[in-house]
Amino acid sequence: MKTVTVELGEQRRYPIYIGENLLGDPQWLTPFIRGKQVCIVTNTTVAPLYLSQVEDALAGYQVDVVVLPDGEQYKTTATIEEIYNCLLEKRHNRTTTIIALGGGVVGDMAGFAAATYQRGVDFIQIPTTLLSQVDSSVGGKTGVNHRLGKNMIGAFHQPNCVVIDTSVLDSLPQRELSAGLAEVIKYGLISDREFYDWLNDNLAALMEREPRVLSEAIERSCQNKAKVVAADEREGGVRAILNLGHTFGHAIEAAKGYGNWLHGEAVAAGMVLAAELSHIMGWLSSRDVDHLCELLKQAHLPTSPPIDMSPEQFLDIMSLDKKVIDGGLRLVLLESIGQALVTDKATPEQIRQAILAEFQ
């Protein structure tokens, strides 16, 4: 078992536990529960697999459960109502703890409910997909989608702890595993060239779910994210580099309908677009872009946007992104492999050129 700590100041640090068969062990949960009430939020896919283990670990507590439908298309304010309804009907008070048991959609919605119920209650993340283990469960971003934009309604609300049971990845569909690897590759691109090189050497083992290699990839991803979050909790500066590929990716998700492209798939294509734009800006070589494409292909991830999306459609949707400041679109690009920057210097014509290049 490994521990990564997110340092947000002496009174607000929290641990990320990484290991096998952690779900049924109360020692990773009960020290972080203040009261006697717990609400587990999960979904129809995860509940039959892992809910009973978590319930067993919480013997002695009032445990209520909300089982949500599975899918990005359900990440809405209407679905959040189901969580509020349970909390109110079961009379949960301000010392309750909400536990998110599921992937990124469950974690984002449970966290947003925790941030807003009675103006904020405790919550714990138990992520069950690779993508949520290395990305969305860490850092305190919570929220829901709007038909005009992804994650446009939300709050920063840090968990008390994150419990990553790597054994749950055995049941993860291969497409979901690949989607998670997009975020893993992102960490190497933005701030850790050594990790990027390590991924090149170990991607085949990751695709085969070799436990030791998976555990190391998760740990190093969490270390990279924890370092960025500690430096900039609310994305006022450096934390924005975590959005590499996301502005393009969110446009793909919005255009194609949430859930039709998995988040990690959209981010993968978005990272290629960001790399191509970085090449156009004079920072990356064409060889760097080609190498990234090959790595993503080995992970069974898309390297081109949907064929029916035009540059104008991208620009129109991206203009609604949260990262638009005073009319200028801020994008995360790459000065080199392992070094990201945030810039608003890319022109619409350069962005259009980058998009068109991926259709050649």
CATH code at position 74: 3.40.50.1970
pTM score, whole prediction: 0.94
pLDDT at residue 326 above 60?
A: no
Final residue belonging to a domain, choices 171, 197, 228: 171
**Per residue in 119-163, pLDDT tens?**
999 999 999 999 999 999 999 999 999 988 889 999 999 999 999
Final residue belonging to a domain, choices 107, 138, 171: 171
Asked whether residue 163 falls in the same domain as residue 217, the answer is: no
The answer to the question of residue 177 being in a domain is: no
Q: Please tell me which residue in 219, 235, 253, 276 is annotated as part of the active site.
A: 235
Final residue belonging to a domain, choices 140, 171, 202: 171
Query: Which of 253, 248, 245 shows the shortest CA–CA distance to 150?
Result: 253
Distance CA 124, CA 84 (A): 17
Asked about 243 being catalytic, the answer comes back as yes
The answer to the question of residue 176 being in a domain is: no
Tokens at 295, concatenated: 């790595």
Asked whether residue 199 falls in the same domain as residue 309, the answer is: yes
Q: Please say whether the beta carbons of 287 and 336 come within 8 A.
A: no
pLDDT, average across residues 70-82: 96
Domain containing 28: what range? Answer: 2-171
Q: Please tell me which residue in 72, 183, 216, 253 is annotated as part of the active site.
A: 183
The answer to the question of residue 68 being in a domain is: yes
53-57, 103-107, 276-280, 310-314: segment of lowest average pLDDT = 310-314
Q: What confidence category does residue 322 fall into, taking pLDDT thresholds of 50, 70 and 90?
A: low
The answer to the question of residue 178 being in a domain is: no
Asked whether residue 19 falls in the same domain as residue 140, the answer is: yes
The answer to the question of residue 181 being in a domain is: no
CATH code at position 297: 1.20.1090.10
**Per residue in 215-242, pLDDT tens?**
999 999 999 999 999 999 998 899 999 9
Asked whether residue 164 falls in the same domain as residue 220, the answer is: no
Asked about 345 being catalytic, the answer comes back as no
Q: Please tell me which residue in 157, 186, 246, 323 is annotated as part of the active site.
A: 246
Asked whether residue 46 falls in the same domain as residue 140, the answer is: yes
Q: Please tell me which residue in 75, 92, 150, 225 is annotated as part of the active site.
A: 225
Q: Please tell me which residue in 220, 263, 279, 330 is annotated as part of the active site.
A: 263
What's the total number of domains in the chain? Answer: 2
Asked about 13 being catalytic, the answer comes back as no
Residue that the structure tokens 């009907």 belong to: 89
Asked about 141 being catalytic, the answer comes back as yes
Asked whether residue 161 falls in the same domain as residue 204, the answer is: no
Q: What confidence category does residue 321 fall into, taking pLDDT thresholds of 50, 70 and 90?
A: confident
Asked whether residue 247 falls in the same domain as residue 208, the answer is: yes
Asked about 183 being catalytic, the answer comes back as yes
Asked about 146 being catalytic, the answer comes back as no
Asked about 34 being catalytic, the answer comes back as no
Q: Please tell me which residue in 243, 265, 323, 330 is annotated as part of the active site.
A: 243
Q: What pLDDT, on a 0 to 100 scale, did the predictor assign at position 186? A: 98
User: For residue 201, how many C-alpha atoms fall within 13 Å in the half-sphere facing its CB?
Assistant: 8
Asked whether residue 132 falls in the same domain as residue 204, the answer is: no
Q: What pLDDT, on a 0 to 100 scale, did the predictor assign at position 247? A: 93
Asked whether residue 227 falls in the same domain as residue 337, the answer is: yes
Asked whether residue 42 falls in the same domain as residue 108, the answer is: yes
State how far the alpha carbon of 118 is from the alpha carbons of 75, 84, 113, in Å. Answer: 21, 10, 9
Q: Please say whether the beta carbons of 273 and 332 come within 8 A.
A: no
The answer to the question of residue 277 being in a domain is: yes
Asked whether residue 262 falls in the same domain as residue 206, the answer is: yes
Q: Please tell me which residue in 75, 220, 239, 330 is annotated as part of the active site.
A: 239
The answer to the question of residue 182 being in a domain is: no
Q: Please tell me which residue in 75, 92, 141, 150 is annotated as part of the active site.
A: 141
